[in-house]
Amino acid sequence: MIDYGATFKRLREDKGLKIVDLEQPNISRSLIGKFERGQTRISADRLDKLLSDMGVSHDEFLFLGGDRSDNYIYMKLHEMGVQTGEPKEMQQLEAMITRSTNDLKHGRGGIGAGFMREFGIMLKYGIDKETDMQFYDRVEVKKHVQPAVDFLKQAETWGRIELDIFTLFYPGMSPTDLLALGRLAIKRAHFYSQLRTEQMRLVDIIYTAFNGLIYADIAGAAEMLALEESVLNGMDEFMTDLTTQRLRLISSKGLLKMLQGDVEGGYTQAMSVVPAYEIAGMNKMSEFTKKQAELTRKEILAGNPDNIPHTYSMLI
């Protein structure tokens, strides 16, 4: 469910507007304040008039008001937990697949139930450690990723559900599909580029595409990284949370440089962010960055870059 008042307040503040700036003869500041606090409702006509005055469309309002606590996909992901192939975790995965299948049969969960079932089966076959095949090359993975790829290519506008599906299924997408959908996500999720509070999600979506391409399509990865940097450079400096994204960008540039031929220079650049992560207490990011940089350097120097799992970030 959407908390209309809270979403409205969030948009108003994002636009730098005060309640008094939106006051009208038939829409008092008191009414707007009570609406934002959830103390009263206002008519759809009045809401649309206020949104129009803020330069926000009705679709954008609904898009930004999604509540993750009432989202089928997030509920099932929480039930499933992290997956690394351990027996207990595989049992959780199997249970999630069973529940999603039952929900689908009984008309529960909507479109999310279908995709969570496919996502679960994709993971089930994808985390098999007895094969040297890349994740996206496995027949069973392709079978369950294709519906997601087709759905995303046909969607005229990407909202939360589309972006969530893209993030879920990207490890199983071929480099060609991943690059095409990465471009499409940026083009069709235009709402994220309109509001500074939502631009962070856009940056994360671009990074998702980069992360899936880095060991499979260097040119495509470079394109996504350049786009990520351009979005970051256009964002407000006061957003202190950008520190994490900028550190990630530096590390990503280092990985790309290694794969483009400057192994030692790229390794040094990728590793340069580790102390910053450690000082900030971001130990998981520190370990992930070190492992990824060390593995990349090792395999390139050994002349075996293809030995780096293309979905490395998901599997460690």
Give the distance, in angstroms, between the CA of residue 286 and the centroid of all CA atoms in the same chain: 20
Whole-model pTM? 0.67
**C-alpha dihedral sign at 237, 242, 243, 248:** negative
Cα end-to-end distance, the chain, whole Å: 35
**For position 264, what pLDDT does the model report?**
97
**For position 316, what pLDDT does the model report?**
35
**For position 256, what pLDDT does the model report?**
95
d(CA 147, CA 209) in angstroms, rounded, equals 18
**For position 240, what pLDDT does the model report?**
45
Ranges of the chain with pLDDT below 70: 1-2, 59-60, 62-71, 81-85, 128-132, 160, 189-198, 236-242, 309-316
**For position 309, what pLDDT does the model report?**
66
Structure token pair of residue 140:
């069973």
**For position 72, what pLDDT does the model report?**
76
Question: Do residues 259 and 231 lie in contact, with contact meaning Cβ atoms separated by under 8 Å?
Answer: no
In tens, the pLDDT along 239-276 reads 445 678 889 999 999 999 999 999 999 999 999 999 99
Torsion angle of the four alpha carbons 231, 232, 233, 237, in this order, in degrees rounded to the nearest 10: 130
**For position 131, what pLDDT does the model report?**
63
**For position 302, what pLDDT does the model report?**
93
